[in-house]
Structure 1
Amino acid sequence: MAGNASVLEDSSILSRLDQSLLKIEKAFALISGLAIFLLMVLAVRSVGGREFFEEPLSGYVDWIMQLMPLIAILAVSFAMRDGTHIRMDLFVAQLSGRALWAFEFITTSIVLILMILLVWGSWSHFDRAFDWNAPLFSRDSTIDIGLPIWPAKILVPIGFSVLCLRLILQSYGYARAMILGLANPVGVPLVQDAAAQAAAEADNLINKG
């Protein structure tokens, strides 16, 4: 797993686009965090209702199904931007310079192609569940309390589309670094070594103190 990563900023168009997209990613990450909190509240309500009132929360599993895309999908792009997603650094740590940027460009481009296909597929799933003429615009619903499924399904292509935008920016950033031979390109996560991570954490503690 990647450690703490830094993303450099400057006045370039790439950096401005990166910062603009980051605002959307932060908003989505906040929504994901609130969804996790709501999931905990629902769990307490369900367990407490069963334990003390012999009446668990109706449709608990249905609500979990609705919240899962919020938790699992919306914050992925934010993690990708900061380099805090799951990644294998054992091989990458041995690379530097143009070889590193070439490797990052190739792998990021492959992921971008995969995500474009997933956007197309997830939109198809949403389209099958949505109907303007159906009750609650839904052709499908959850098993227990009949919640419409399309709101959860549309979150997947939305979250993946934001991730595609992030991957496009990073692919361009890596390609630019590879062509120009940049040591510290903007708009891409620069994974720090253990010493740099420790220094950054110490600075954060000092600033908070």
Structure 2
Amino acid sequence: MSSEKTAQGSLIGRLNRGLIPIEDLANLLAAVAIMALMFLGVAQIVLRTIFNNPIDGYIDLVELSMASMAFLGAAYTQRMGSHIRMELLMSRLSGRGLWAVEAFGAAVAMFIIGVLIYYSYGHFLRAYTLGDTTIDAEYPVWPSKLLVPIAFSIWWCRLALQFFGALRLVIFPQAEPVGVVVMKDVAEQAQDEIHEVMGDDVDFSDPEGTA
């Protein structure tokens, strides 16, 4: 029984570790897109106000960047448990009941995201086949539309890991949680966010927060 728990946990753990760099990269690209849009907005204001020479297709570029900012960070957010969750309900559950609800929620989300992957890929394929472009500057729109099913696919993989991770804990409630979101109090969540930004070498016992 113990070896079976270990085998299942190690498989989910390996898949989880393999998916994390992909999620981090997608989230980084979303952050870069947001930063680039901020610089583009400043440049647009300066060029329009001072030189009366706005950037051609500025609105089109903003529209095309929306997909990367809106969807590329979704899987990362799902992994961190930073999305909107029914914490008031979940905090009252424990053991098999908690993980059964988590598995059910992940299964429902997998179905919804799976449907969105199918239809968003259809939109990309149609835009690519027809050579669809933006109205003003006539930029091709298919790269932006392709980002949607890619981001949703990464998100679906994260949901699948959480589903099987929760299902494993339904069967083996005493096992170590792997690939699932573990609810934490405010202090623990703040420490995790600091680790995420500053790295794992921060000593929280030091009032200066140095290593």
TM-score band, normalised by shorter chain: 0.7 to 0.9
Instruction: Quote how far apart the aligned CAs of 1:179 are.
Output: 1.1
With over 3 angstroms needed to count, the CA separation of the structure-2 counterparts of 1:45 and 1:92, relative to structure 1, is same
1:68-147 matches, cutoff 5 A: 68-131=66-129, 139-147=131-139
Q: Is the 8 A contact 1:97 1:183 kept in 2?
A: no
1:25 corresponding residue in structure 2: 23
Instruction: Quote how far apart the aligned CAs of 1:184 are.
Output: 4.0
Distance 1:129 1:202 in 2: 42
Distance 1:27 1:145 in 2: 29
Distance 2:110 2:66 in 1: 23
Distance 1:150 1:17 in 2: 30
Q: Match for 2:61: what amino acid?
A: W
Distance 2:159 2:77 in 1: 12
Match of 1:188 among 162, 170, 180: 180
2:143 corresponding residue in structure 1: 151
Counterpart secondary structure, 1:48: helix
Q: Is the 8 A contact 2:77 2:83 kept in 1?
A: yes
Match of 1:46 among 44, 64, 76: 44
Instruction: Quote how far apart the aligned CAs of 1:196 are.
Output: 3.1
Counterpart secondary structure, 1:140: coil
Instruction: Quote how far apart the aligned CAs of 1:201 are.
Output: 6.7
Note the aligned Cα RMSD (angstroms): 2.0
1:150-189 matches, cutoff 5 A: 150-182=142-174, 184-189=176-181
Q: Is the 8 A contact 2:9 2:178 kept in 1?
A: no
Q: Is the 8 A contact 2:64 2:144 kept in 1?
A: yes
Q: Which one is further off, 178-187 or 89-98?
A: 178-187
2:3 corresponding residue in structure 1: none
Distance 1:200 1:141 in 2: 43
Q: Match for 1:19: what amino acid?
A: R
User: Is 1:63 matched with 2:61?
Assistant: yes
Unaligned stretches of 5+ residues in structure 2: 1-7
Instruction: Quote how far apart the aligned CAs of 1:58 are.
Output: 1.4
Distance 2:38 2:17 in 1: 32
Report the TM-score, using the length of structure 2 for normalisation. 0.85
Q: Match for 1:82: what amino acid?
A: M
Instruction: Quote how far apart the aligned CAs of 1:206 are.
Output: 3.2
Q: Match for 2:87: what amino acid?
A: D
Q: Which one is further off, 85-94 or 95-104?
A: 85-94
Deviation per residue, 1:57-78 (Å, 9 max, x gap): 1111100111111111111001
Q: Match for 2:58: what amino acid?
A: Y
Q: Match for 1:55: what amino acid?
A: N
Deviation per residue, 1:106-129 (Å, 9 max, x gap): 011000000000000101101110
Unaligned stretches of 5+ residues in structure 1: 1-9, 132-137
2:4 corresponding residue in structure 1: none
Distance 1:22 1:37 in 2: 22
Q: How many pairs align?
A: 194
Over the matched positions of the two proteins, sequence identity in percent amounts to 38
Counterpart secondary structure, 1:191: coil
Deviation per residue, 1:3-47 (Å, 9 max, x gap): xxxxxxx97111111010001111111111110110001100111
